[in-house]
């Protein structure tokens, strides 16, 4: 499976502790998990940085 753009896999909980396995993680640029709702904000910032539109790119 692949998509024509980078993506960050995001989970509110730590799926490793739940003994769950992600099927999309191998193609993801990175994975964020275990930060609750904040995971989504961190994921958005990470992908913006990846494509050159985040604060780290300035």
Q: Which helix (H) or strand (E) holds 40?
A: helix 38-50
Say how far apart CA 51 and CA 41 lie, in whole Å: 16
Q: pTM of the predicted model, to two decimals? A: 0.69
Whether 7 contacts 47, CB under 8 Å: yes
> 8-12, 20-24, 36-40: which has the highest mean pLDDT?
36-40
Mean pLDDT taken over the chain: 80
Q: Select from 10, 55, 5 the least CA-distant residue to 37.
A: 10
Helix (H, G, I), strand (E, B) or coil at 7: coil
């Amino acid at each position: 499976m692949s998509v024509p753009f980078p993506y960050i896999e995001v989970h509110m909980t730590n799926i490793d502790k739940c003994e769950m396995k992600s099927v999309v993680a191998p193609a993801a640029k990175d994975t964020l998990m275990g930060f609750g709702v904040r995971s989504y904000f961190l994921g958005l910032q990470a992908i913006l940085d990846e494509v050159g539109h985040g604060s780290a790119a300035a």
